[in-house]
A and B are shown apart, each in its own frame.
Chain A
Amino acid sequence: GESVGLHLPTLSVQEGDNSIINCAYSNSASDYFIWYKQESGKGPQFIIDIRSNMDKRQGQRVTVLLNKTVKHLSLQIAATQPGDSAVYFCAENLGGAQKLVFGQGTRLTINP
C-alpha cells in the first residue's frame, strides 16, 4: 500500500557524531525519494533526493542510501551540529505527478 515508515520516532546524538536516520517504504514502484528537514514553526526544507536508478547520493554533510531490495532508505548526517536538530521526514513519489507520501518523521536531538 501507499505508506512510508520510519524505524524510530526519536534519535539523540552527541554533537560532532554522525547521525543515521532510517526509513522503510512499501511501494516498490516508487521512483523518487526525498529527505526533508522540518524545524519548529517552519515548512519542510529539502535536504537531498535520490532516484530509483541510484543507490547512493552525497550532498554537503549528508548522504542518502537507497536499498531497493529491502525497500530501505537512510539519511546520514556527518559531524552533527546543533542546527541539525529538527524532525526529519522521508518521502516517496508514486507515479508521474507531484504527490509525495511522507513517513511519520524522526525527531533528531543533538546533545552538547
Chain B
Amino acid sequence: KAGVTQTPRYLIKTRGQQVTLSCSPISGHRSVSWYQQTPGQGLQFLFEYFSETQRNKGNFPGRFSGRQFSNSRSEMNVSTLELGDSALYLCASSLEATGQAEAFFGQGTRLTVV
C-alpha cells in the first residue's frame, strides 16, 4: 500500500511569508504527527492530530499551526516565516494514537527561507 505522502518536496520562501505543507497518511491511519528536523536541534515534535483533533503540541511558537481533515489528511502552516524555520518538515502517520503504535514517516518537505 502507498506510504505517507508529503507535498511539496521542496519549497523556497521569503522571510515574512507563510507556507502550507500537506501530508497524506497511509490509508486507514488516523493519527498524524509533524516533526521539524534541523542539523542543530535534530528531530523535534511539533504536534499530533487524531480524528481531526490536536492531541499534543510541542514547544513551538504560535506561528506553527496545523489541522486534520475528515479523511485524515493533514496540513501544517507556518506564518511570518523566519530564517530559522528552514528545515526538513516530516509527517508521520500511525494506525493508533496510543503511543505504542509504529509511526511511518514520509519523505519530508525541505523548506528554505531566504
**A36 to chain B: which residues have CB within 8 Å?**
105
In this complex, the interface size class of chain B, counting residues with CB under 8 Å from chain A, is: 20 to 34
Per the CB 8 Å criterion, the residue count for chain A at the interface is: 27
Nearest chain A CB to B28 CB, angstrom units: 15
> Which residues of B are at the interface with A, using a C-beta cutoff of 8 A?
4, 31, 33, 35, 42-45, 48, 50, 55-56, 58, 90, 92, 94, 97-108
Q: Which of B31, B50, B90 contacts A43 (CB 8 A)?
A: B90
A97 and B43 in contact (CB under 8 A), knowing A43-B105, A46-B103, A46-B104? no
Nearest chain A CB to B93 CB, angstrom units: 9
Q: Cα distance A1–B42 when bound, in Å?
A: 17
- The segment out of A16-24, A56-64, A74-82, A102-110 that lies at the interface is A102-110
Nearest chain A CB to B95 CB, angstrom units: 10
Q: Is A42 a contact partner of B107 (Cβ separation < 8 A)?
A: yes
